[in-house]
Amino acid sequence: MTEQKYPEPTVGALIFNPEGKVLLIKSHKWGDRYVIPGGHIELGEKIEDALRREIREETGLDIYDVEFFLLQEFIFDKTFHKKRHFLFLDHICKTTSTQVSLDQEGQEYVWNNPDEALNLQVEPYTRRIIEEYIERAAEP
């Protein structure tokens, strides 16, 4: 792979099932920690289209009520298996299913309440979106 010349925009989502639990996937790319599903935006692809495609590819899930939630910068952090500079465009959304079909990137998955999810080994950027969700949900 050629050396990266620009930050890579990526999409990800905190996906809620009908019981209000969030999906986390264990990934070897993130040191066998739990992450939210997502991936790269293809050239010419709209952000929400990329999110729907990535979620479907990685989990088999269809999503709805998609809402932009958080922008995070990832600059050469050692938590990823390669030296990369990402821009994470994190979303929250819903799904009607709890049946997940993982692709080759995920080893296993769990559905947890957001506060319980923080007890898992989640990578720092996933931890931040969960904590931010909990904080905003608690606001009057």
Cα–Cα nearest to 22, from 35, 11, 9: 35
- Digitized pLDDT (tens) for each residue of the chain, 140 residues in all: 467 788 889 999 999 999 999 999 998 887 899 999 999 999 999 999 999 999 999 999 999 999 999 999 887 757 666 667 778 899 999 999 988 988 777 789 999 999 999 999 999 999 999 999 999 998 87
Q: Are 111 and 21 in contact (CB under 8 A)?
A: yes
92, 67 Cβ separation under 8 angstroms: yes
Q: Other CB atoms closer than 10 Å to residue 2's CB: what's the count? A: 4
Phi, psi of 104, rounded to the nearest 5 degrees: -70, -15
- Domains parsed from the chain with CATH numbers: 8-138 (3.90.79.10)
User: pTM value?
Assistant: 0.90
